[in-house]
Structure 1
Amino acid sequence: MELRHLRYFVTVAEELHFSRAAQRLNIGQPPLSMQIRALEDELGVPLFERSQRRVFLTPAGRAFLVRARQILADAEAARLEVQQIAGLDAGELRIAFTTSAPMTNLMKRVLTTYRQRYPRVTLTLSEAPSERQREALIERTLDIGLLRQAENAPPVAGLSFETLIDEALVVVLHQGHALAKHASVSIADLANEAFIMHPNGVGTAVDGQIRRMCERAGFTPRVVQEARESTTIVALAASGLGVAVLPAAVRCIQIEGAHFMDFSEPDAHSALLLGKRRDDNSPLVQAFVALCHEVAGTVNDEARPA
Structure 2
Amino acid sequence: MFELSQLRCFVAVAEELHFSRAAERLNMTQPPLSRQIRLLEHHVGVPLLERNSRLVRLTAAGKAFFPEAARILRIAEEATFAARRAAKGEQGNLAIGFTSASGYSLLPEVVRRLRECAPRVSLTLKELVSTTQVQALNAGEIDLGLLRPHPMNAELESRLIATESLMLAIQESEEDRWPLEPTLESLHGKPFIMYSPYEARPFYLMLTERFVRAGVVPDIVEHIGQVHTMLALVRAGVGAALIAEGAARLKFDGIVMRRLSSEPVEMVCTYRRDNDNPALQLFKRDVLPGFDTEASPRRSID
- TM-score range relative to shorter protein: 0.5 to 0.7
Q: CA deviation at 1:94?
A: 1.2
The aligned counterpart of 1:184 is 181
2:197–2:205 CA contact under 8 A, matched in 1: no
Distance, in Å, in 2 between the alignment partners of 1:207 and 1:88 is 36
TM normalised by structure 2 equals: 0.63
2:92–2:120 CA contact under 8 A, matched in 1: yes
Q: CA deviation at 1:250?
A: 1.7
User: C-alpha root-mean-square deviation of aligned residues, in Å?
Assistant: 2.5
| Total equivalences in the alignment | 213
The aligned counterpart of 2:96 is 95
2:160–2:292 CA contact under 8 A, matched in 1: no
The aligned counterpart of 1:144 is 144
**Which aligned pairs between 1:158-237 and structure 2 lie closer than 5 A?**
158-178=155-175, 182-237=179-234
**Which aligned pairs between 1:128-139 and structure 2 lie closer than 5 A?**
128-139=128-139
The aligned counterpart of 1:263 is 260
- Flag the structure with more relative contact order, 1 or 2, with Cα contacts below 8 A and sequence separation at least 6: 2
The aligned counterpart of 1:276 is 271
- 2:248 pairs, out of 241, 244, 251, with 251
Which blocks of at least 5 consecutive residues in structure 2 are unaligned?
1-80, 294-302
Distance, in Å, in 2 between the alignment partners of 1:126 and 1:223 is 30
What is the identity, as a one-letter code, of the residue corresponding to 2:93?
Answer: E
The aligned counterpart of 1:43 is none
Distance, in Å, in 2 between the alignment partners of 1:178 and 1:123 is 42
What is the percentage of aligned positions where both structures have the same residue?
25
The aligned counterpart of 1:52 is none
Q: Say which SS state the counterpart of residue 165 (structure 2) adopts.
A: strand
Distance, in Å, in 1 between the alignment partners of 2:202 and 2:192 is 16
Distance, in Å, in 2 between the alignment partners of 1:83 and 1:191 is 59
What is the identity, as a one-letter code, of the residue corresponding to 1:242?
Answer: G
Q: CA deviation at 1:198?
A: 3.2
1:91–1:121 CA contact under 8 A, matched in 2: yes
**Once the two structures are superposed, what CA deviation does each residue of 1:70-110 show, in whole Å capped at 9, x if it has no partner?**
xxxxxxxxxx8896263535422111011200112x32122
The aligned counterpart of 1:124 is 124
TM normalised by structure 1 equals: 0.62
